[in-house]
A and B are shown apart, each in its own frame.
Chain A
Amino acid sequence: MNDVELQQLINRVPYARTLGIEIGEEAGCFLLPVKKSNIGNPTLPALHGGAIAGFMELSAMIHVLQHSHSEKIPKVVDFAVDYVRAGKYVTTYSRCKLVYLGRRMINVSISAWQDDEAAPITMARAQFLVKD
């Protein structure tokens, strides 16, 4: 799937449009530009932790779609996220890594950062099930 096809697929997913996720420059990388509807704390201001988690889950899902050779949207079995730094109201980046690509079970690790990839704001892992 090339980037144009992938962006078309993302545009078909309402939740992806709600968050405003975009494809990054490198494979498995995505970005979340600032958007008022992702704010959780207006005073700081800071992103909602749920919006960051949703962005990471969605990043992993798109990454799986690119690699699973299935047109079907993969099912998330479980998702775990560690928040280590506050999510400021700036562009957030994600990088997904396929830890295990099986015929049915797929495990992805995801990290998200803002200023410096070496200082992530959150780390997550997701387990997907793909059924034909």
Chain B
Amino acid sequence: MALDFEELNCFIETILAANDGDHFTTLGIRPEYVERHRAGLSMPYDKALVGDPDTGVIHGGAITALLDTCCGFAAATALDDLGLTPTIDLRIDYMRPATPGLTVYADAEVYRVTESVIFTRAIAHHGDTERAIASVVGNFFRMELDLFAGMRRDFRAAQVLKNSELKAGGSGNE
């Protein structure tokens, strides 16, 4: 079974946006791209994420959450079908503070896939990858795909329903 990237993209968009008020929407994380062994996300500046009220710099924890999420999605592109990849561990180096007011971008890549572990790395930046705010290495658990059979079934059923509603809504407007 080969991974359908269009479907994975939908899956990621659903995870990020489907539950208003959860940690993803609280951080304001948005998808940028997803392709084999790579994923990109962005997180616009938000005062609610500020860690130092004197400077307005966002807290490292928000960057950690963004990088964890980005590496996790990159890891999911290494699977043969839709599934989740729990984080085993992360190590983050903070190279410079994020600039107040600017969007933080994250680019993650998978550099090794083994039977049980997916090895990833990522950087966070403001658009210039040569001036990284933080860099991370993270390992993710590659679980049995059967474990996510129910999740895939539910997601696909919801997508079918959503598409038929869109179609019905579209014809109603014509």
Contacts and interface: CB of A to CB of B under 8 A. Distances in A.
Contacts of B60: 54, 57, 76, 79
B94 interface: yes
Given A15-B48, A54-B64, A78 B22 contact: no
B50 A36 contact: no
Contacts of B54: 73
A14 B48 contact: yes
A18 B50 CA distance: 9
Contact of A54 (B50, B52, B59): B59
Contacts of A93: none
Nearest to B58: A15
B19 A42 contact: yes
Contacts, number: 117
B93 to A, nearest CB: 5
Q: Which 9 A-B pairs have the closest CB atoms?
A: A50-B65, A54-B61, A48-B23, A15-B59, A80-B91, A37-B26, A14-B50, A39-B22, A73-B52
Task: Give the interface size bracket for B toward A.
Answer: 35 or more
A54 B65 CA distance: 7
A34 interface: no
B88 to A, nearest CB: 6
Interface residues of A, number: 37
Main secondary structure of the interface of B (DSSP, over half): mixed
A51 interface: yes
Nearest to A9: B53
Contact of B61 (A43, A53, A77): A53
A83 B87 contact: yes
A81 B89 contact: yes
B66 A79 contact: no
A104 to B, nearest CB: 16
A13 interface: yes
A48 B93 contact: no
A13 to B, nearest CB: 6
A112 interface: no
B69 interface: yes
Contacts of B23: 37-40, 47-48, 50-51
